[in-house]
Amino acid sequence: MMASRDLKSKRVGVLMGGLSREREISLRSGRNCLAALERLGYDAVAVDVGRDVAAVLEREGIEVAFLALHGKFGEDGRIQGLLDILGIPYTGSGVLASAIGMNKAFSKKIASFYDIPTPAFSLIDCHGDIASACDPDRLRIRMPVMVKPCEEGSSLGVTKVDESDGIEPVVRGLCEEYGQVIVEEFVAGDEVTVGLLEGEDGFLELPVLQLVPRESEFYDFKAKYSEGMTEFILPARIPAVTADRCQELARAIHRAIGCRGFSRVDFMIDAGGVPWFTEINTLPGMTDTSDLPAQAREAGMSYDELVEVMLGSAVPRQARAPR
């Protein structure tokens, strides 16, 4: 971790906005983080990421990047690769971990390899025979199912399908809209998320957050970003042994993927108390209704303190292109 005193003399660019479908959410996260850094006395400026971002970073004299980007081009390793080339340290995970974390199929495959329970799924080739791929006998996944874009965040496009004859039309629609799609077995139970923060001496303890949407059947885009649409239960109303298991599995997938600094890991807990990994977020939301700030607040950490811990993850990567 880079000490805050070392960063006080650096010009920090808060990268926000971007080119993804989550642009508006990213702007909300970024503005909050920028305000926190300014309150803390950092020399911080907003950088609205467009295709000219490299030129903007040079023009603004950015020495450290605080990433408040969400979705494609920001959370999937692409901006991380550019920053590596430019020699600018940045917060959070590197290129490979970001790319894997953004891809639900790859992150679930890694989870399976490390014996981390994750719901059965099938990756649909949107350029292949979709009808055949959606055939229940070929899928071999119990109904109901969740159909999800493979590389989108904020629950964009996520759809619950209760009958097998409803899978194909949903898949076709998501393929046209988003590209790669996964069909995943639905796990009925409690939806929880684990926030992870790396400190100098290991992970900082944050409580498990239970999410109970007030109108939606699951924690969808509207439930995530509309104030009052979700009940946050902190700490989660689950047995202590289950909460400990969620924490353990979250740390395991964070390490297995190679994440750095912070992440947020989502689980469904079935009727038997087994946590099932569904996805990892390498750049968690930092809006007024986001999960990670709520978990930090419950642990006694202010929003500004959380942002400063996250900023400390902006250590120079070992691999550095010549300048």
* pLDDT tens column, 150-202: 988 767 889 999 999 999 999 999 998 888 899 999 999 999 999 999 988 88
pTM comes to 0.91
Cβ contacts of residue 119 below 8 Å, gap of 6+? 146, 184, 185, 186, 187, 268, 276, 278
- Count, residues in the chain: 323
Mean per-residue pLDDT over the chain, rounded: 91
Q: What is the pLDDT of residue 323?
A: 42
- C-alpha torsion angle, residues 149, 29, 233, 300 (rounded to 10): 140
319: pLDDT confidence band, cut at 50, 70 and 90? very low
* Residues with catalytic roles: 22, 154, 225, 264, 266, 279, 281, 285
Please write the tens of the pLDDT for every residue from 102-123.
Answer: 999 999 999 999 999 999 999 9
| pLDDT per position as a tens digit, 27-61 | 999 999 999 999 999 999 999 999 999 999 999 99
Structural domains in the chain plus CATH codes: 4-92 (3.40.50.20), 99-117+189-308 (3.30.470.20), 121-185 (3.30.1490.20)
pLDDT interval class at 2 (50, 70, 90): low
Tokens of 171: 């898949």
Q: What is the pLDDT of residue 112?
A: 97
